[in-house]
A = this chain, B = another copy of it.
């Protein structure tokens, strides 16, 4: 076949993406706009789109087209060209999609839908026994999925599932990164604790009108680079970043009268995802090449803007005076230094999504180890709560008062998403390594941040990461940009240096 096979293939792929992105809009609408009574019908719409998408993507015609293109030397000769990258990604996703029998897909969808519902009810009631049988069933199905996918020599079941979230990620690989990180994080947290120093929560705890908070965080999102002509910021119970494509990106955040710091943090986090999506290569919309690399790298950008920029001293030199434009005298007692310090409090706690930048990673490590053992059969669902509570006591020094705030706090497992959690900490690690590199190339970023100028950093990230689409896999991208694979040192250096300043270590 000739290059026109490639055009035929891409036309089909872009059309499948129209279905997928429509489902994305339905999902955004469900979380932000849809009246409560719309749920049952919406589920039907979403399932139909998901089925139509799956049927088209796994059709024999798709397989024939991919194979025909792979036989064309000029399409695949250089593995970093858009054509070769598209074919690499389609091949992996197509083979993977074909490995699951549709009966298992349907059963998994049914079981996880019930499990999510039961999880929510069990969590509200604080009753793990209600969720347990569903979790057990999900783990059985996850094991069957893993068997269908298979895993590389020397790997394990967890790897087969993680591949769906982050191609190439394995439990051994995660372990190799997490192992050196863990003791140094624990030590760092202990050193902070030993100072006995209390950093007041200056930014939260003041009652501020929601509409002023909205205008403020919107302005910050715009200043760091979100283009509101090509996206929105709305409110949802759990902040997320979705939308349909680079020119229609939908972020959400949330507001509480007395939690400006949390709203700002979650807005900057989602804005990091949003800027990434808005800066993907325009000429490859709807193609695999036009997508972000994977969950870890996507998360690296939310973390970079939230933590490396948004909790940096020089950012607060700019941001603290800006607040007066929105909140009048409410913060007149608070200087930039104290504002900055209060955004960097370390406090071991029960809840992952409320955790600070440092302890957060321990929450992830606990989940990674437990889900790995659950999948391998080394830990039964009966023993999960005890194992969870023991890990929280050992690693974070906190007593878990009940399973609602313990092993049932996250939605992920109830959706059957195992192999996902580590991407959050991988994101922190990548963020640190990228930010370190950006600083070495850009010079004095603090001078820029103090002036509210985030363009040089955003442009650097756009050139190196966003506009590259899916050209590189995560680790290759990291090597390409920083000259080495993922290393724990940049994150540790960053945290030790920042907490050193805040807590005077």
Q: Which of B34, B228, B245 lies in contact with A248, CB distance below 8 A?
A: B34
Cβ proximity bits A2-34 to B, threshold 8 Å, 1 near / 0 not: 000000000000010011011001100100011
> How many angstroms from the CA of A288 to the CA of B15 in the assembled complex?
29
Q: Mark A227-243, 1 if CB is under 8 A from B, else 0.
A: 01111100000000000
Alpha-carbon gap, A244 to B37, bound state (A): 12
| Residue pair A35, B232 in contact (C-beta under 8 Å) | yes
The answer to whether B35 touches A244 (Cβ under 8 A) is no
The answer to whether A232 and B33 touch across the interface, beta carbons within 8 angstroms, is yes
Say yes or no: A48 contacts B35, CB within 8 Å: no
- When distances are taken between beta carbons in the complex, the residues of chain B under 8 Å from A245 are 41
Quick check: A45 and B21 within 8 Å, CB to CB?
Answer: yes
Distance between Cα atoms of A18 and B21 in the complex (Å): 16
Interface of chain A residues 337 through 368 with chain B (CB within 8 A): none
CB distance from A342 to the nearest CB of B (A): 32
* A25-B26, A26-B22, A48-B19 as given contacts; A37 in contact with B232, CB under 8 Å: no
Say yes or no: is A36 at the interface (Cβ < 8 Å to chain B): yes
Contact B33 A244 (CB under 8 A): no
Q: State whether the Cβ of A247 lies closer than 8 Å to any Cβ in chain B.
A: yes
Q: How far is the CB of A233 from chain B (nearest CB, A)?
A: 11
Q: Which residues from B are CB-within-8-Å of A248?
A: 34-35, 37-38, 41-42
Interface size class of A (residues with CB under 8 A): 20 to 34
CA A228 to CA B19, docked complex, whole Å? 29
With the chains together, A15 CA to B26 CA distance in Å?
Answer: 16
Chain B hits for A52, CB < 8 A? 52
| Chain B residues whose CB sits within 8 angstroms of the CB of A33 once the complex forms | 33, 232
Give chain B residues whose Cβ lies under 8 Å from the Cβ of A92.
none
In the bound complex, do residue A230 and residue B35 qualify as a contact, i.e. CB atoms below 8 Å apart? yes
Q: List the B side residues contacting A229 at CB < 8 Å.
A: 35-37
A22 nearest in chain B by CB position: B45
Interface string of A36-74 (1 = CB under 8 A from B): 111011101100110010000000000000000000000
Scoring A33, A36, A38, A285 by chain B CB atoms within 10 A of each residue's CB, the highest score goes to: A38
A285 with B41: CB separation less than 8 A: yes
| Inter-chain contact A25/B29, CB cutoff 8 Å | yes
Contact A244 B36 (CB under 8 A): no
Interface of chain A residues 213 through 269 with chain B (CB within 8 A): 228-232, 244-245, 247-248
Q: How far is B49's CA from A308's CA once the two chains are assembled, in angstroms?
A: 42
Q: Whole-angstrom distance between the alpha carbons of A38 and B33 in the complex?
A: 18
The answer to whether A35 touches B228, judged by C-beta atoms less than 8 angstroms apart, is: yes
Shortest CB-to-CB span from A24 to chain B, Å, is 10
B244 and A38 within 8 A (CB):
yes
Note all chain B residues with C-beta closer than 8 A to A42.
244, 248
Q: Which residues of B contact A230 (CB under 8 A)?
A: 35, 37-38
Interfacial chain B residues near A21, Cβ < 8 Å: 41, 45
Which B residues are in CB contact (< 8 Å) with A244? 38, 41-42, 45
- Inter-chain CA distance A52–B22, complex, in Å, is 13
Nearest CB in chain B: distance from A285 CB, A: 7
Q: How far is the CA of A18 from the CA of B44 in the complex (A)?
A: 7
A–B Cβ pairs within 8 angstroms, 6 of them: A18-B48, A25-B25, A35-B228, A35-B230, A37-B229, A41-B244
* Chain A positions near chain B (C-beta within 8 angstroms): 15, 18-19, 21-22, 25-26, 29, 33-38, 40-42, 44-45, 48-49, 52, 228-232, 244-245, 247-248, 285
Closest 8 CB pairs of A and B: A38-B248, A37-B247, A37-B230, A18-B48, A18-B45, A22-B45, A41-B245, A37-B229
